[in-house]
Chains A and B, each alone.
Chain A
Amino acid sequence: MPVSQSPTIIVCVVIYLVACLLIGVWAMKRTRTIADYLVAGRTLGPFVIIIAAMSSIMSGFGFVGGPGLVFDSGTSSLWMTFPSTFSFALSWILVGKRLRLLAEVREVLTLPDAVEARYGGRWPRLMMALAILLGVLGYLGTQVLAIGMVLVAVFGVKLPVALMIGLGVLAFYSVAGGILASVYTDLFQGLLMMLSALAVLYYALDAGGGMSEISTTLWEMDPEFIGPWGTRGPLTSLSWYMLFVIGAVGQPHAITKFLMLRDVRQLKWGALLTGASYAVLSLLWMSVGFSMRALVAGGVQGQLDSPDLAAPVFLLNYTPGWLAGMVFAGLLAAIMSTSDSFLNIGAAAIVRDIPIAWRGRAVANELFWTRVFTGVLLVASALFALYMENLIALLGTFGWGTFAAAIVPSVAIGLNWKRATGSACVLSIGTSIVLNFALELSARQGNHILPHGMAVGCFSLLVSIAVFVGVSWFSGEGGEEKLAPDVKAAMEV
């Protein structure tokens, strides 16, 4: 990433970091129990939940990787971000009410809690916790590395120093304030991202001479690039679409936000508004990628060393200092808002979900140990990021697909379909982990087993759904007969 060291950008980023610290101090005073720490004591209103769900899904990948992918392969990657208008609605329709109602009758603070309430037994909880932990480790590693790289670009310091600054702030507000600090920083971060995206759209179109001019330049360079499928082709684009539209329902950092809602009635307009607010962020993804590619194709901008430089180079060269500062802060916000959600659910998996599955009860002094493991996870992911970059890249790719394939069948379908069984839950989660890991590893070694560019995560998701439905259908376990009356009632409202 190019180094800026512009005073305006440094000031904006410092203001942002200080605001995060202040929110952490405020939240710390309001966090007294494990329920406060993990689900904000179920006290949050709809506006906070909408922006927090949106900003936790928009990670550094969306702010840097998204424009980079558009720069690299044109329209193809828009099939990843355009599903959001529908996918958030699907999350609300399939999971929102069910998960929140389950929390009315059981102590559901995490997804493994919900899975145990739904299916009974320890194995579904254990498998869900393991899938979440594996996904979290991968995601956190990539996000931590991204925090470091952004701060290297802003302050011009070495990576370990940048990591200490960024992770210090993240550790403080996440450990001290738990999810309350996380969602309120998400709120601040989400609003910052939306403002940044709208402003960047204007400058991106302006720099490229308007959308018609950008399209014409790109068409002359390569008609497929600006065509509806980009350079990756229709099957890759459509399999991304399926993975991101249905798979979004299984992203734990977004759907656990339902557990924090004060009143289940407040779900009403969330489906529409979250999709709409994410659509605003998609404008940055699309406009910067196309504009930068047109600038390079038109000879206005020199070649980039890497597609991921599209967004930072655009900001530094084609936007005013105040906007670049705001977007760099927004970029940091995107990365940190995703990281803090993962820290929360990862620590809960270690301290609460796995011990309960293993020995039937959570550890003593759960709040204290969850705080400790939030810090431990952050340090571990920083070490991973510094010393095991290849593993991190693999786990990062593996994250979204694993969450989708593990969680969509067991939670999104299982909370709506009474015939679903615990065996189906365990087998589909196991299938999702093995398939995603094996296929990603194989693809990284150059062996593309799936034909025609089909996305690994999409394939794993479809197989996992088929396993879940098939096993539930044919196992003869009688999923409905085993349901506890309160859980059954929560599935019938």
Chain B
Amino acid sequence: MTKLGTESNPLRVAVIGSGPTAFYATDHLFKQVGLAVEVDMFDRVPTPFGLVRGGVAPDHQKIKTVTKAYTQTAAKPRFRFYGNVEFGRHLKLADLKEHYHAILYASGAQTDRRMGIPGEDLQGSHPATEFVAWYNGHPDYRHLQFDLTPERAAVVGIGNVAIDVARILCRTVDELRTTDIADYALEALSKSHVKEVYLLGRRGPAQAAFTPPEIKEVGEMADADVVVLPEEAQLDPLSQAAVASASDRSVLRNVEILQGYAVRKPTGKSRRLTVRFLVSPVELIGDAAGRVVKMRLVKNRLVASETGSLSAKATDQLEELPVGLVFRSVGYRGVPLPDVPFHEKWGVILNEKGRVIDPESKQPFVGQYTAGWIKRGPSGVIGTNKPDAVETVNCMLEDLAQDKLLLPSQPESRCVEDLVRARQPLFFTFADWLKLDEMEVARGQAQGRPRVKFTSVEEMLAALGR
């Protein structure tokens, strides 16, 4: 047999997941000079782009333009997309090993961390990730119901996802109507009674995980005032010292914006977003029907560890916050993949620089790799996944150079297509996606929206005439 990675014997890579990381990894493979490589990308849902489609907020269309670069990668002749095909269900690890030299897990982080407090599962208490997937029209979450009749809602957490949720709750229907939010979510939100939204941060303004554009944006909403309590906007001496010497200007910028909000007078808008600091929910309290009606909060203070990192320590001061709706957004978390070793506590695949590690021998498994959030945990912006994916692919290329990849018995794309057809006849190709995309955009144009999404597999099949 000729050398692997040549025209007559191309390197074959299976990529699980089709979010930004999957495309950055694929792009880096295709860019290798003198390497013939075929990439087959699989996704559980029919459409590509992962959290860019299903996570990035509908009123952040600019961020979604990254998909243009991914679409260029997908146009390469040796690229194939198989949507609606689930790893572990339609195709197992053993199947992939028969057809590929390398397997790359880039399945991301789809679920959330729990708060671990009493009352967390009362009616009206939800993971923010489910609400986000719901308003973004993710096929697995479209059936969810959110009771938006309570007037007061709390979002626990203070990262960009928490801000997204709070912002969507505070937007007017007119603001949302110009986005690609799912139609059913637009309908439900148009009837929302929510007037008062709290964002609850465990630590102070200098430790907030959101980025300056996101916190600035909530000060510019059409019909919602933003409130920060002056006493909570003040920095404690530890935070002051940290901000003064911080190399990252965004921390200082966040603090400045928040302190600006603290001296703003409410302008009588009909909704209000209150950003709170140094508080942690300790319990959700329900009524007789099991619906959340209030939340008990403990006031925190900051303490420095040996390394200078500031953490929240509970005081004995408690307060109660009447809320009928709670979204927890205390971190995304990866979901284990069948037959792939997983670090339960951290929610990532066991790996070393992206090589999947056998927990027994502590050595890498041949031909198995991981990248993105399922490799390092949820951190950074979309582009952070590029250097991460490059690191992993470079490990794969090193292993290729040393002949340390899988030896598939049928390294042919035709065999994979036959197998997928047999296991999941309702698979979607990239050409299918391009047609759906065009139809979504056309439907949107008629309404002055970026697109109107198809949100169920049945709808997508029908649109494609299948």
Is chain B a partner of chain A in the same complex?
Answer: no
* Interface of B toward A, CB cutoff 8 Å: none
